[in-house]
Amino acid sequence: MSYIEPEAKIFACSQSLHLAQEISKHYGIQLGQVSMHTYSDGEFQPSFEESIRGIRVFIVCSTFPSSDNLMELLLMIDAAKRASARHVTAVIPYFGWARQDRKDKPRVPIGAKLVAKLLETAGATRIMTMDLHADQIQGFFEKPVDHLFASTIFLPYLQSLGLDNLTIASPDMGGSKRAYAYSKYLQSDVVICYKQRKKANVIEKMELIGDVTGKNVVLVDDMIDTGGTLAKAADMMIERGALSVRAICTHAILSGDAYERIENSQISELIVTDSIPLKKQSPKIKVLSCAPLFADVMHMVQNNNSISGKFIM
């Protein structure tokens, strides 16, 4: 008697519903049904409205603020475990709290490690995410982590633009590895911005390492929050003789006055994924979907196939 691998089902947390629907469409199945009961004090309780016994469950949830997104994911993982799911894979396109990956001063938490432990304690048997803020976060987990790269999405788009005199730029020293990887693949020059902060989200000083005169510059980063760094870097590069400045940022957090800051800056185009839904549309923002990438990798995981072919760099 031949053994047939049990089917998989995909479910979504509330704020990642649109992305999960797109992933399900590319995967080739209907999105699973979940109901949410909310108490008058704000407490909520998710419920799977179909059997998940003995199957692999993919739960799609980007854990951007508020913390309700993370709490909803934890509750859904726990519910899936208690409903006898065979595997519970947390699909987290944007892994929140990732900036807290180390102690950068005394008496602060390592939030990313705490989130990793919460996910495992809830019952996640596998984690799937994209462009972590720090690669070492994978080591915070004792379960398998599929760390996908948005370069798979961005590089074909960049090549389609046909930019001459292309230069890849990192907005800070920490992103230099990512910038060098892009420049190596595209065979382009690379420049790096050096910045000093007074405090989080406030830049005191920024300098440019490298020449951008007569170049079409593409800034590469894993996320854009307030947009202050990218706007300041773009303005400085245009002053230094750059022909144009674009920015690639995987996760569009875009908090505070970020939209206005981007629209008033010298950035000609901000290219992001839909790992986090945009709060509003902007003529400068181009959204590339990560749904096909996640759907393909989820198929590979379900069928126990290697996912290494999905890594461009």
- Nearest residue to 188 via CA among 161, 216, 215, 167: 167
Query: Helix crossing, 17-27 with 291-302: angle to 10°?
Result: 60
* 126 three-class SS: strand
CB atoms within 10 A of CB 141: 17
Buried b (16+ CB within 10 A) or exposed e, 29-63: eebbebeeeeeeeeeeebebeeebeebbbbbbbbb
Q: How far apart are CA 85 and CA 32, in angstroms?
A: 13
For tokens 């790269």, the residue is 149
Residue 81 tokens read as 């475990």
Residue 135 tokens read as 């690669």
| Strand pairing class (166-170; 145-148) | unpaired
What element of type H or E holds 262? helix 258-263
Which are the catalytic amino acids? 195
Q: How far apart are CA 123 and CA 82, in angstroms?
A: 9
- 12 neighbors 21 (Cβ within 8 angstroms): yes
